[in-house]
Amino acid sequence: MSIADNLRLIKQTIPVNVSLVVVSKTQPVGSIMEAYQSGQRIFGENKVQELTSKQTQLPTDIQWHLLGHLQTNKVKYIAPFVSLIHSVDSLKLLKEIDKEALHHNRTIDCLLEFYIAGEETKFGLSWEEAMEILNSAEFTSLKNIRICGVMGMASFTDDEKTIRTEFKVLVHYFNDLKKTFFADKSYFKEISMGMSSDYPIAIQEGATMVRIGTAVFGQRNYL
């Protein structure tokens, strides 16, 4: 099936109020254009260099999301154009994003990435670490970032119960944060969870944003 066919079928399974981030990491520009030509405008990458390279080659109305771990020294390369950073996992990183956003006279939207999987390999904040950030005076002083919600990745497992439980934890975090810190912030509304293998579960559990690569483009070739 073509990329356009895959996209059409996936979109039929996603409610209109859930955003689809098409994950284009490792995919050539031509494949991304195919998705673009069938109407897709939101793409996600997980490496800064790949993201900036593709951004210069592709149409300017694409909204680029960064999904992968972000080092502070690379924020400056994406700050001029990135539309959402899903992977904020420290105050140091937030401060750098704020500084670069100010430098470019813009506000950069971010999600707090939470560690929800029972696996050592996943990045993300614990609840305690998030509390430390959000309660700090330094956080309150940041004017050029907006925390728009949360992001998380479930375990790589076939066990639906485990995945569902992990997504429920993320939703619980979202609700607690909304109540405690963002009750009056209408932009705090995103729950980014669900990938090719588990997005239907994520949507059932309350995802507002799903990140799908393989189901659109087929298996990735890591060169």
Ligand X SMILES: *Cc1c(COP(=O)(O)O)cnc(C)c1O
Residues in contact with ligand X by the rule CB under 6 A: 23, 25, 46, 67-68, 153, 195-197, 211-215
Pick between residue 108 and residue 195 the one whose CB is nearest to ligand X: 195
Pick between residue 149 and residue 213 the one whose CB is nearest to ligand X: 213
Tokens read off for 31: 């494949």
CB of 70 to ligand X, least distance (A): 11
CB of 77 to ligand X, least distance (A): 18
Bridge partners, 66 (sequence order) = 45, 85
Pick between residue 46 and residue 142 the one whose CB is nearest to ligand X: 46
Tokens read off for 30: 């031509």
Pick between residue 10 and residue 102 the one whose CB is nearest to ligand X: 10
Handedness of CA 199, 200, 202, 207 (dihedral sign): positive
CB of 212 to ligand X, least distance (A): 5
CB of 200 to ligand X, least distance (A): 12
Pick between residue 108 and residue 215 the one whose CB is nearest to ligand X: 215
CB of 220 to ligand X, least distance (A): 7
Handedness of CA 221, 41, 6, 31 (dihedral sign): negative
Pick between residue 145 and residue 215 the one whose CB is nearest to ligand X: 215
CB-based closest residue to ligand X:
213
CB of 100 to ligand X, least distance (A): 21
